[in-house]
Amino acid sequence: MRQKLAAGNWKMNGTGSDLAELAELIQSQGTATSELMICPPATLLSRAADLAQNSALTIGAQDCHSEQAGAHTGDISAAMLKEAGATAVILGHSERRADHSESSNTVAAKTQTAWAHGLTALVCLGETLDEREAGDTLKVVGDQLAASLPEGATGANTVLAYEPVWAIGTGKIPSLAQIAEVHDFLRAELTTRFGPQMAEATRLLYGGSVKPGNAAEIFATSNVDGALVGGASLKAADFSPIIAALDAS
């Protein structure tokens, strides 16, 4: 059985005062059956990890460099994230691919580095609106999967998140049939490349305008094992109903 996962990506939001939301989330979700994760900005990682000790909440990071160390001003290594208390790291988010021109090959290199330091790689995939309207969704997502995920992927070291670029922060979401089509496709692609055991063990998350009002129907969709949540994860009051919907699915 794959344990469901509700992961929150705070993106470039949050200062020390916002850690009160983590404390509230920890207190309110002590009986959650799903795995809970918050990925705060790097400046809050250590403090968030301290808060989350001995709780149901794990802490992830939002990116890492592909190199172990070196002359990379402003970047953060996987070893640094691990030392700060992170157990996972988001890689290949569409905002990184677009804003920083990250290729899938770059994502694969970062993934290998994350694994080498014991971090779970939460690898993001997704198409733009133009690609969706052109009927290229499965080709785009399939190409990203093939190039972003190195050999050695397992259900323990990897989580995949399907995030259609056009749905992130827009309030728009694909139809349930479209979500199911991509998630079923990803499971099949993993089976073909890595075998059924790995495919069945790997969690597939949906991300893109997940809210309390639509969470239950998304979680009832084929091969959806949880969510990568953006804005709605910033407040415990917004994230908690999503977690409850996942627990109930």
Catalytic sites, residue numbers: 93, 163
**Residue among 109, 138, 94, 125 nearest 202 (CA):** 125
- Scan for tokens 């109903």, then name that residue: 241
**Residue among 227, 211, 141, 129 nearest 182 (CA):** 141
Can you tell me the distance from the alpha carbon of 162 to that of 75, in angstroms, rounded to the nearest whole number? 25
Tell me which amino acid residue 140 is: V
Question: Which long-range contacts link 212-218 to residues 24+ away (Cβ below 8 Å)?
Answer: 212/238, 212/241, 212/242, 212/245, 214/173, 215/241, 215/242, 215/245, 215/246, 216/245, 216/248, 216/249, 217/176, 218/173, 218/176, 218/179
Element holding 186 (H helix, E strand): helix 176-194
Can you tell me the distance from the alpha carbon of 148 to that of 109, in angstroms, rounded to the nearest whole number? 8
Can you tell me the distance from the alpha carbon of 215 to that of 218, in angstroms, rounded to the nearest whole number? 5
Task: Yes or no: say if 206 and 228 are a contact pair by the CB < 8 Å rule.
Answer: yes
Specify which residues 36 forms β-bridges with: 6, 57
Q: Measure the CA dihedral 20/62/5/23, to 10°.
A: -10
**Please, what is the Cα angle at 210 between 66 and 55, to 5 degrees?**
65
